[in-house]
Amino acid sequence: MAAEYDGHMKAQKAGQALGLLMFFQAPWAVFAWFVWRIDFFYREGFVGPGRFEGSAFWSLLAVLLTWCALLPTVFAVPMWAKRGRTTTVEWDAKVAFFLHFLLPGSLVFSTLFLWAFPHLWGLMPLEGSFSKEAWKIGPFIGLFSFAGVPTIMVFMVLRRILANPEFAGEKPPALKRHRLEMPPPVSMSTLLRVTGTESGTVHFAVDAEHLGHDAWVGLYRSGQSDHDHGERWIWVRDAEGGAGTLQHAANGPLSLRLFKDGGYNRMTSVNVEPASVEAAMEAPNPMFWDA
């Protein structure tokens, strides 16, 4: 099926891009560690910060630079969630906002109020004896509610967004089954021509030189949705010399439709009523009309 082929190609391209990002992740992380010296910021910010010297604020740069070092992985996350399918513009914008602004901003905000400021204000709990430092637990719980809980909520919302991508091509199943699409006005383009009809068989010619590799032709009962082709379709590349045949068991007007790019992007359509071979020979170009 054309849609399945199109989805396979998109998934393959997404997989190649994902692999390329993962290929760059290791050398980029090594560069960040040995050139940016992230270890220095972790050591000065988290391991041995002075209480009132402000050195704990190096932890903010440690968090921010670590995020920059993980950018290939960050870019790969939405690609993995899509799995090669086309998502809505709204979903893409929402994921980009959470991944590149809200999440790193919340991590820096949490580090500021749960580590840097407590060191500056002398509020880190249990640094000395429990009896003397236990009172600091109360303010620290307040700081965690202020700066820690929002970050946890951001992680939870982002996880839910990534687990439920909004695909652009998805519609309710009922609409797919029952909605009828009226074909557009018949085009007199020379790309697709009916050369004869015989009972339920339609003979056609298509100008393959002006079409891409993934163009295809489908035969429908007039008024049917583009998705309801069943097995009545053929790749243009498989039509020898640009001539092909398709069969349909239904009586009444039929619709021959040309699509491009392996999907349902219709280029043109020809509506023709089944007739005998003799009638087709007398009128090589059957009468066209709107469905």
Q: For residue 5, name the pLDDT band (cuts at 50, 70, 90).
A: very low
Question: Domain end: 163, 191, 218, which one?
Answer: 163
The answer on 188 and 137 residing in a single domain is: no
Q: Is residue 287 part of a domain?
A: no
pTM over 0.85: no
Q: Is residue 290 part of a domain?
A: no
Residues 119, 49: contact at Cβ < 8 Å? yes
Question: Domain end: 99, 132, 163, which one?
Answer: 163
The answer on 251 and 124 residing in a single domain is: no
Q: For residue 290, name the pLDDT band (cuts at 50, 70, 90).
A: very low
Q: For residue 173, name the pLDDT band (cuts at 50, 70, 90).
A: very low
- Exposed/middle/buried for 235, CB within 10 Å: 0-12, 13-18, 19+? middle
Instruction: Give the range with max mean pLDDT: 196-200, 268-272, 287-291.
Output: 268-272
The answer on 6 and 133 residing in a single domain is: yes
Q: Which range marks the domain in which residue 49 is found?
A: 2-163
Phi–psi pair at 258, nearest 5 degrees:
-110, 130
Which pLDDT belongs to residue 276?
47
The answer on 187 and 65 residing in a single domain is: no
Q: What confidence tens digit (pLDDT) does each residue in 105-148 have?
A: 999 999 999 998 888 888 877 666 666 777 888 888 888 999 99
The answer on 214 and 157 residing in a single domain is: no
The answer on 215 and 118 residing in a single domain is: no
**Domain count of the fold of the chain:** 2
pLDDT higher than 90, residue 94: yes
Return the exposure string of 195-213: e unless at least 16 CB atoms fall within 10 Å of the residue's CB, then b: bbbbeeebbbbbebeebee
Question: Domain end: 106, 129, 163, which one?
Answer: 163
Mean pLDDT within 147-165? 92
Percent of the chain with pLDDT over 70: 75
Q: For residue 252, what is the domain's CATH number?
A: 2.60.40.10
The answer on 22 and 121 residing in a single domain is: yes
Mean pLDDT within 154-169? 87
